Each structure stands twice: as structure tokens, then as C-alpha cells.
Structure 1
Amino acid sequence: MSLMKALLVVSTAIDLVNKKLGEWISYFTFLMALITFVVVILRYGFNMGWIAMQESVTYLHAAVFLLGSAYTLQHDGHVRVDVFYRRFNAKRKAVVNLIGSLFLLIPVMAFISIVSWHYVAESWQTLEGSMESGGLPFLYVLKSFILVFSLTMLLQGISEVIKQVLVLVGINSNKAELNASQDEAN
């Protein structure tokens, strides 16, 4: 297997994991809206409320944004100031994306992973729960989303680097073109 094929396999595997995670997490938005609706009905209709139910909305909200970020990056859905970028050809866009991934995305995600490791580990050691009585006893899970976020974004950053390198060497990151270029080389 050539280096280009190996890189494409790695990129495809990362993309598949983040795609499945993003699709799975997308259902949390419906669940979050449903729980919020129930909280409002209970509070204003029946003068009742549960802290755990309210906190579950926070957990779901964190999951949607933190665990869905890599999926959003994969689909080029993050906010970008593209005054110049949108006019660039594919190779210039690849250079911008490559530099951004190598010098911003990957270092920042590595930094977040390193800095938050102790914070999350300490929470797991004590099985930290909510400070509110009647709150959810899983604060350590919520804090773990930070590490999952940084790991999935780091992996997606690696996938993006691979795809940009393939574009720069003249190979589209789809399998058909990679196979055709390999057949020509043989």
C-alpha cells in the first residue's frame, strides 16, 4: 500500500468516526428541546421543577457543541472570515487550511487536552456530582466532554491535514481519483 493510500485510509477512518458521532449527537438537540419544553410546562403550568431535569439540558447542550464540533469541522461548517478565501482556487484554499490546521487547530487542541487532563481526572477520582441538591451525580461525565472534544477535533485536524496535503500534491481526497493515480503510477 502506498503512502498516499495509507494516508487516505487514516483520513477516511477518522472522518467515519466523527461522522457517526456527529449523527448520533444530533439527536440530542431534539431531546434537549423536548426536556426544555417539559421543564417549562412543569414550572409554569404546575409550579414544579426538578434540578436534575434542568441540568440534563446543560449536559445535552454541552454534548451537542463539544462532541459535534469535529463533525462540523469535517463539513466545513465552522465560522470563517472568508473575504479572500472564497475567491481562492482549491490549492490556495488547501494551503490556508493546512497552515490553519498545523499552526492553530492542532496546537490548540493539544493544549486543551494537556491542560484539562488533570481537571477531568480529578473529577473522575471523586466521581464529582452536582453541587445542587437533587442535581445530576455525573459532573465527571460532563467534564469528560472537554477531553473528547479535544481528541475528536485533534483527530479531525489530522484528517484535514491529510486531505489538504493530498490536494496540494494533485490528488483529490476521494478514493476513485487516488486509485486512478496509483494505477497510472504503476
Structure 2
Amino acid sequence: MIIKAVDGLNETVGRIVSVVAVIFAAIIIFDVVMRYAFNAPTRWAFDVTKQLYGFYFVMLGGYALRHQAHVRVDLVTERLRPLARRWVEVAGYVIFFFPFAWVFLTRSWDFALKSWQQGETTYGSVQLPVYPLKMAMAVAAGLLILQGAAEVLKLILDKQEKPHGA
């Protein structure tokens, strides 16, 4: 039940956030057309696309983990039996993943709160608020921790999903 809920949450977030790639691509195309076809570049497109890409990149961490799309070094685990491999992976989550994710969550939350309190904006001709992107980092870290917990439960309960092509 918990595993399905977390998987479903990150699946939904991933599918919704993936639309952002289309939006920032459209903005880039719009800016290029305005710049080269009409000699009228936008002042805002670069900053907006930079923030949208940052949002897109950080928010898909839980989705990527859910689909096992993160970089892995399987040099040690590929030679192990399935049970031993699962326990080595659980240990990896406990020793490496969760401490990193916890630091990511707590530091990004502090980072976002300070940015919001200061009303931080980008520099340049168009000053966009920065704190929504920094808040997204904290939300992404939370989603990553939840998905990590779901992945550990899958390993412990031996509930691994088959890859889509298998």
C-alpha cells in the first residue's frame, strides 16, 4: 500500500513535470525566432528557461529513482546472488542514499526559507523570484526520500518490478 502510494505520487509528479520540458523548449524556440527572424530578442526568455530547466531537473529525481534511471555501479553486486544483492543495495541506501537525501532536504529547506524571507530575485534586466525554485528543491528532496523508502521496502519484501521491456 505504501509502496504503491509513493510510486504513484512520483509517477504523477514525473508525468506532470515532464510537460515543463515542452514549455521551456517552446520558449527557447520563440526566443530564437524573435531574435533571428524579427531582430527582437526577449529580455526574459533566458532567465525563465534557466529556472524551468532547474525545476524540471530537480523535480524528476524521485521519478528517476522509481524507474531505476539513476547511475549505478554494479561491479560488486552483479556477481552476487539475488538475496545478497538486495541486502547490499539496502545497505547502500542506508549508508549513502538516506544521509545524502536528508542533507539535501534540510539544507534545501533552509536555503528556500532564507530566499523566501529575503524576497530573493534573479539579477539582470528581468528580476524573477528565486524562492519558488528553491522550494522545489526541498519538495524534490522529500519526494526522493519517500521513493528511497519505497525502494528499500521493495528490496526487503522482494517486490521488485520487472523492467518495462522484459
TM range (shorter): 0.7 to 0.9
Query: Which structure shows the bigger proportion of residues in helix conformation?
Result: 1
Cα distance, 1:95 vs. partner? 1.6
Cα distance, 1:146 vs. partner? 1.5
What is aligned with 1:141?
Answer: 132
What is aligned with 2:97?
Answer: 105
What is aligned with 1:11?
Answer: 3
Separation of aligned partners in 2, 1:155 and 1:117: 16
* Greater radius of gyration (CA): 1
Q: Kindly, what percent of the aligned residue pairs are identical?
A: 28
Cα deviation digits, residues 68-121 of structure 1 (max 9, x gap): 111000100111122343454432331232112111111101112222322210
Cα distance, 1:135 vs. partner? 3.4
Separation of aligned partners in 1, 2:8 and 2:18: 15
Residues 1:74 and 2:66 aligned together: yes
Residues 1:126 and 2:126 aligned together: no
The amino acid that maps onto 1:156 is Q
Separation of aligned partners in 1, 2:47 and 2:84: 45
Q: Name the SS for the 2:44 alignment partner.
A: helix
Q: Judge which range, 153-162 or 127-136, deviates more.
A: 127-136
Separation of aligned partners in 1, 2:49 and 2:39: 19
Count the aligned residue pairs: 161
TM alignment of 1:29-178, pairs within 5 A: 29-136=21-128, 138-167=129-158, 172=159
Q: Name the SS for the 1:51 alignment partner.
A: coil
**Structure 1, gaps ≥5 residues long:** 1-8, 175-186
What is aligned with 2:164?
Answer: none
Inter-CA distance 34–85: structure 2 relative to 1 (3 Å threshold): farther
Contact in 2 for aligned 1:51/1:132 (Cα 8 Å) = no
Cα deviation digits, residues 43-76 of structure 1 (max 9, x gap): 2222222232221211221122110111000100
Separation of aligned partners in 1, 2:50 and 2:91: 34
Contact in 1 for aligned 2:62/2:144 (Cα 8 Å) = yes
The amino acid that maps onto 1:149 is A
Q: Name the SS for the 1:151 alignment partner.
A: helix
Q: How well do the aligned residues superpose, as a CA RMSD in angstroms?
A: 1.8
Calculate the TM-score normalised by the size of structure 1: 0.78
Inter-CA distance 96–64: structure 2 relative to 1 (3 Å threshold): farther
